[in-house]
Chain A
Amino acid sequence: MNEGGGRLAIPVGADDHAQGPDDAAITLVEYGDYECPYCGQAFPIVQELQRVFAESLRLVFRNLPLSNVHPHAEGAAEAAEAVALQGRFWAMHDLLYQHQRELRAESLLKYAEEAGADATQVAEVLARRGTRARVENDLEGALRSGANGTPTFFVNGSRYDQSWDFDTLREFIQAELDRG
């Protein structure tokens, strides 16, 4: 039995939103919440890690909306997944983190358009809650993996429990790389 150490319960697969090579030495999974200020702080840190580690790093983003504290998080997650159906997930993901304080429904459609998606189609998907199941599956997977806050990172399948400031996370990933 997992004693609470945190192992990624759902392996990274074809349905995931990923940046970087499938065979990268490091897979960094982020479970995040678009309204969470800590996730907002982590956003440029993760981008910097992607620049530093380049082809050695694959980034995967999954949803962990904490609706009790972040009332717009679930809607933003569903919108990002609706945009993803048109192949524009990462553009939307970035826009949401750049506009964390303005995540009302009308704004989400504006970001969808800016991200290069057809906003009418996105609105139609959201109206029928077409991406709710996807978000809920992510959430359940996060909880079963021992996600313990937002953001929670998993490095090659193990929960990362140290500080996620840039230097600490970079050193940890470098050490993983050095171990081969």
Chain B
Amino acid sequence: MSSPPKSGDLPAGPLQPGTAAPDFSLPETPDQRVTLSELRGPVVLIFYPADWSPVCGDELSMFQAASAMFARHGGQLLGVSVDGPWSHIAFRASRKLGFPLLADSHPKGQVSRAYGVYRAADGTSERGLFVLDQAHRVAWSYLSPIGISPGVDGALQALEALK
């Protein structure tokens, strides 16, 4: 695992295609972590501001509805926000989401910062999407206006376009 980036190295916006995706190890539950470098195959990272907000619920429900389409191309979906694991467990159960939600809560927003999608003023993640290829390089990224759920079409097209 690479060392966390120093503050001076932080990207100004979402990591762009071609960039190596920074590794991370984040809790999914209080006693279970997901480590990027241990995953095989393409990964779709869904950064979102907060569990329970209506727009976020819609956004993640769209990815849930599309989960079979992403699975067809071997894409692992991962949601990321600064909420803690207990919130994620309750939110995930209430929305019946089949993919993990990771807690970027301690140190707060560290992974969101590394991917260039942290809103320092609000203390939340941006609404940012990343498709990582097999080698875990950024193949596609997108930053949606904070109030607008982005839909899954861009990430799905990017995943399908991977060689």
Binding site for B on A (CB under 8 A): 1-4, 6, 9, 64, 66-69, 139-140, 143-150, 152, 159, 161
Using known A-B contacts A68-B64, A69-B95, A148-B148, determine if residue A4 contacts B154 with beta carbons closer than 8 Å: yes
Question: Can you list 29 A-B pairs with a CB-CB distance of less than 8 A?
Answer: A1-B140, A1-B157, A4-B129, A4-B142, A4-B150, A4-B154, A6-B151, A6-B153, A9-B153, A64-B65, A66-B61, A66-B65, A68-B65, A68-B95, A69-B95, A140-B69, A143-B69, A143-B152, A143-B156, A145-B153, A146-B150, A146-B151, A146-B152, A148-B59, A148-B148, A148-B151, A149-B59, A149-B149, A161-B148
Further contacts, 10 of them, CB under 8 A, given A149-B55, A149-B149? A2-B153, A64-B65, A68-B61, A69-B57, A146-B153, A148-B62, A149-B58, A149-B59, A159-B151, A161-B148
Query: Are the C-beta atoms of A1 and B152 separated by less than 8 Å?
Result: no
Q: Can you list the 3 inter-chain pairs with the closest CB atoms, starting with the nearest? A: A146-B151, A149-B58, A148-B149
Nearest residue, chain A, Cβ from B98: A68
Q: B3-50: which residues lie under 8 A (CB-CB) from chain A?
A: none
Residues on A with beta carbons closer than 8 Å to the beta carbon of B153: 2, 4, 6, 9, 143-146
Residues of chain B within 8 A of A4, CB atoms compared: 129, 142, 144, 150-151, 153-154
Distance A147 CA – B95 CA, assembled complex (angstroms): 18
Is B96 on the interface with A (CB-CB < 8 A)?
yes
User: Which parts of B107-149 form the interface with A (CB within 8 Å)?
Assistant: 129, 140, 142, 144, 148-149
Q: A4-B144, A68-B95, A68-B96 are in contact. Are A147 and B151 (CB under 8 A)?
A: yes
The distance in angstroms between the C-alpha atoms of A101 and B150, with both chains bound, is: 29
Contact A149 to B144, CB < 8 A, known contacts A68-B96, A69-B96, A159-B151: no
- B162 nearest CB across to chain A (Å): 13
Whole-angstrom distance between the alpha carbons of A66 and B64 in the complex?
A: 9
- C-alpha spacing A104/B68, complex, angstroms: 26
Where the two chains meet, the residues of B that have a C-beta atom closer than 8 Å to any C-beta of A are: 55, 57-59, 61-62, 64-66, 69, 95-97, 129, 140, 142, 144, 148-154, 156-158, 161
Q: Which residues of B contact A145 (CB under 8 A)?
A: 151, 153
Chain B residue, CB-CB nearest to A4: B154
> Most chain-A CB neighbours within 10 Å: which of B62, B66, B142, B158?
B62
Q: Tell me how far the C-beta of A87 lies from the nearest C-beta in chain B, rounded to whole angstroms.
A: 29
Residues on the A chain within 8 Å of B66, using CB: 143
Nearest Cβ on chain A to B53's Cβ, whole angstroms: 12
A3 to B153, CA, bound (A): 8
From residue B79, how far is it (CB to closest CB) to chain A in Å?
13
Q: Which residue of A lies closest to B127 (CB)?
A: A4
A143 touches B154 (CB 8 A): no
Rounded to whole angstroms, the CA-CA distance of A162 and B77 in the bound complex is: 28
A148 touches B150 (CB 8 A): yes
A146 adjacent to B61 (CB under 8 Å): no
Distance from B117 Cβ to chain A, minimum over Cβ atoms (Å) = 14
Distance (whole angstroms) from the CB of B39 to the closest CB of chain A: 23
Cβ-defined partner of A139 (8 Å) among B58, B59, B65, B161: B65
Chain B residues with CB under 8 A of A2? 153-154, 157
B-chain residues with CB within 8 Å of residue A161 when the two chains form the complex: 148
